[in-house]
């Protein structure tokens, strides 16, 4: 299996350090607002990476996704709302969990919060180690990291050392690209801000130290994969590397996995600061399903920008409908027999699907393999060349495909919660069949139209009537 490593700017063969368990840290949401679908483009890409590592490569996972619940923005927004920081961020952590569940993201092993005491202590331990090694200084009550003390500072972002500004300080959590300056580790607090004291003096953490401490505490000095959006390469991830490696003397992360932006039709990045955001709830309120949104979010390779539009979401829905219609046809196969050529074709598709995953998690290539198989097998059903004995082989392949993609399981879960109760749908189907037997076609059409208006489509076939959501 090969993954693109931002640190080396090339694809490298990936095997976890211990050969068995992948220790992965993914920068989580800064919970000053509800996450938008641009955020979830990243979280979905990381979810697919996790599924590939588990279900395809066969590794155990030790995966951490944090919540940044203290930084400049969370403090400012909680103050505006007149709500204590912890209470304010709680609501957006809960919203994230709801949206993650709606999109079918697998639960990870750890979801630490920056303000947990154990994590704050871990931050102060790193700061104390940096101080002992001569990498810090104190100014105006805040502790800063001296970038001049790390000769290879800037190796992830490929910064030009001539343009660095050692000795110039930056106090804000985010700053301009390549504006490399000494960054704050532990901030002196202003009146009304939360303050902690775990051995380095009263204050609160800078943004960058939080992820270093949570990753190190839960995963060790050297981790296998660190993931994030491309906008985090600098300054956040660069500064994580600096403070962690200077504190421990060990490489911080072996692989850096970065996901490109979701952009709008006008080419703008979806961003809360710009205001061009849609949340998962916004999409659902427009009548779309989360399974279609998930399919769209994984439809473009994670290292390429993904354009969002309602037309693209419509196309994602149509693609998912083709897949679900095929699986529905498969359930209704009644021709007996087994055909070796079907098993061979399925085995080839499984190999090709896996090869795409091995090539830097090429999910679009893998879905292309899957839909080629759908077309082939639909033709085989049409021609009577796919029998009941072939169905388990085909079903097993598509179950494996979906262990990676997660769209079929999500669509089926949605259909298990239809807009009309299942019992009522079944009663109306029975009433419609009775009306048709009595040649009362007006009543039968009325029942079909009523269900259609409520989001349920009826499909008649020689084996009976099945229903599905629109």
pLDDT tens track for 274-302: 778 899 999 998 989 999 999 999 999 99
3-state secondary structure of 396: helix
CATH number, position 214: 3.40.50.620
Please list the alpha-helical segments (H only) found in 383-421.
Answer: 391-405, 407-415
| 301 assigned to some structural domain | no
Same domain, yes or no, for 371 and 452?
A: no
| 299 assigned to some structural domain | no
Query: What's the predicted TM-score (pTM) here?
Result: 0.88
Q: Closest Cα partner for 296 from 273, 325, 270?
A: 270
Same domain, yes or no, for 381 and 453?
A: no
Residue holding tokens 């619940």?
69
Compute the distance between CA of residue 83 and CA of residue 191 in angstroms, rounded to an integer. 15
Q: Give the model's pLDDT for residue 176.
A: 63
Q: Give the model's pLDDT for residue 178.
A: 60
Q: How far from 397 is each of 144, 255, 351, 353, 405, CA to CA, in Å?
A: 54, 30, 10, 10, 12
Compute the distance between CA of residue 173 and CA of residue 184 in angstroms, rounded to an integer. 8
DSSP string, 332-372: T-------HHHHHHHHHHHHHHHHHHHBT--HHHHHHHHHH
Last residue of a domain, one of 410, 430, 446: 410
Query: CB of 27 within 8 A of CB of 211?
Result: yes
| Alpha-carbon torsion angle 461, 464, 467, 470, nearest 10 | 10
**4, containing H or E segment:** strand 2-5
Which tokens is 382 given?
């049409």
Compute the distance between CA of residue 342 and CA of residue 393 in angstroms, rounded to an integer. 9
Same domain, yes or no, for 314 and 434?
A: no
| 123 assigned to some structural domain | yes
Compute the distance between CA of residue 43 and CA of residue 101 in angstroms, rounded to an integer. 12
Q: Give the model's pLDDT for residue 461.
A: 84
Query: CB of 31 within 8 A of CB of 173?
Result: no
Q: Is the peptide bond between 235 and the residue preceding it cis, with omega within 30 degrees of 0?
A: yes
Same domain, yes or no, for 114 and 93?
A: yes
Which tokens is 51 given?
């599924």
Q: Give the model's pLDDT for residue 449.
A: 93
Same domain, yes or no, for 212 and 245?
A: yes
Query: CB of 373 within 8 A of CB of 356?
Result: no
For residue 285, count CB atoms less than 10 angstroms from its CB and return exposed for 0-12, middle for 13-18, buried for 19 or more.
exposed
Q: Closest Cα partner for 133 from 219, 244, 41, 247?
A: 247
| 300 assigned to some structural domain | no
Compute the distance between CA of residue 28 and CA of residue 49 in angstroms, rounded to an integer. 15
Per-residue burial over 377-400, b if 16 or more Cβ lie within 10 Å, else e, is: bbebbeeeebbeebbebbeebbee
Residue 110 β-bridge partners: 64
Q: Within 10 A of 192 (CB to CB), how many other CB atoms are there? A: 8
Compute the distance between CA of residue 183 and CA of residue 18 in angstroms, rounded to an integer. 33
Same domain, yes or no, for 189 and 335?
A: no
Compute the distance between CA of residue 152 and CA of residue 146 in angstroms, rounded to an integer. 13
Phi, psi angle pair for 162, to nearest 5°: -65, -25
Compute the distance between CA of residue 12 and CA of residue 303 in angstroms, rounded to an integer. 15
Q: Closest Cα partner for 67 from 94, 93, 41, 42?
A: 93
Which tokens is 333 given?
């196969």
User: Strand 204-205 and strand 464-469: pairing?
Assistant: unpaired
Residue 253 β-bridge partners: 223
Same domain, yes or no, for 27 and 69?
A: yes
| 434 assigned to some structural domain | yes
Same domain, yes or no, for 323 and 390?
A: yes
Domain carrying residue 463: 422-469
Same domain, yes or no, for 237 and 317?
A: no
Per-residue burial over 57-87, b if 16 or more Cβ lie within 10 Å, else e, is: bebebbbbbbbbbbbbbbbebbeeeeeebee
Q: How far apart are the first and last CA of the chain?
A: 39
Beta carbons within 8 Å of 413's beta carbon, 6+ residues apart: 104
Same domain, yes or no, for 24 and 154?
A: yes
Q: Which residues of the chain have pLDDT under 70?
A: 163, 176-178, 272-273
Q: How many domains does the chain have?
A: 3
Q: Give the model's pLDDT for residue 269.
A: 76
Same domain, yes or no, for 449 and 328?
A: no
Same domain, yes or no, for 91 and 216?
A: yes
């Amino acid at each position: 299996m090969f993954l693109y490593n931002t640190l080396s700017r090339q694809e490298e063969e990936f095997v976890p350090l211990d050969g068995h368990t992948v220790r992965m840290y993914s920068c989580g949401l800064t919970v000053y607002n509800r996450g938008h679908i641009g955020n979830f483009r990243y979280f979905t890409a990381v979810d697919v990476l996790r599924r590939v590592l588990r279900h395809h490569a066969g590794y155990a996972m030790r995966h951490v996704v944090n919540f940044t619940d203290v930084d400049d923005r969370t403090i400012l927004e909680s103050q505006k709302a007149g709500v204590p920081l912890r209470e304010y961020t709680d609501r957006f952590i809960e919203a994230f969990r709801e949206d993650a569940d709606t999109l079918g993201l697998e639960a990870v092993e750890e979801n630490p919060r920056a303000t947990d005491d154990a994590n704050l202590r871990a931050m102060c331990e790193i700061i104390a180690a940096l101080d002992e090694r001569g990498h810090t200084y104190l100014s105006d009550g805040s502790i800063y990291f001296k970038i001049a003390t790390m000769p290879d500072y800037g190796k992830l972002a490929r910064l030009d050392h001539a343009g660095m500004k050692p000795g110039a300080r930056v106090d804000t959590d985010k700053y301009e690209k390549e504006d490399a300056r000494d960054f704050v580790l532990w901030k002196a607090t202003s009146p009304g801000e939360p303050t902690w004291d775990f051995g380095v003096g009263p204050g609160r953490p800078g943004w960058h130290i939080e992820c270093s401490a949570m990753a190190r505490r839960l995963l060790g000095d050297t981790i296998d994969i660190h993931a994030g959006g491309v906008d985090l390469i600098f300054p956040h991830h660069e500064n994580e590397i600096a403070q962690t490696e200077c504190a421990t003397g060990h490489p911080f992360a072996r692989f850096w996995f970065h996901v490109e932006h979701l952009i709008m039709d006008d080419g703008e990045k979806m961003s809360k600061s710009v205001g061009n955001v849609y949340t998962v709830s916004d999409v659902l309120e427009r009548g779309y399903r989360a399974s279609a949104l998930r399919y769209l979010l994984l439809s473009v390779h994670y290292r390429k920008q993904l354009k969002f539009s309602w037309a693209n979401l419509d196309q994602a829905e149509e693609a998912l409908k083709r897949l679900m219609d095929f699986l529905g046809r498969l359930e209704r196969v009644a021709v007996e027999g087994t055909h070796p050529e079907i098993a061979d074709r399925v085995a080839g598709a499984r190999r090709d699907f896996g090869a795409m995953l091995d090539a830097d998690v090429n999910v679009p290539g893998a879905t292309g393999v899957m839909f080629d198989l759908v077309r082939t097998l639909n033709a085989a059903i049409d021609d009577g060349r796919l029998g009941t004995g072939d169905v388990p082989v085909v079903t097993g392949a598509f179950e494996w495909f979906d262990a990676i993609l997660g769209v079929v399981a999500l669509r089926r879960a949605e259909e298990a919660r239809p807009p009309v109760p299942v019992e009522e749908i079944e009663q109306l189907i029975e009433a419609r069949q009775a009306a048709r037997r009595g040649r009362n076609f007006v009543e039968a059409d009325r029942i079909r139209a009523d269900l259609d208006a409520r989001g349920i489509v009826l499909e008649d076939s020689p084996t009976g009537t099945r229903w599905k959501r629109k």
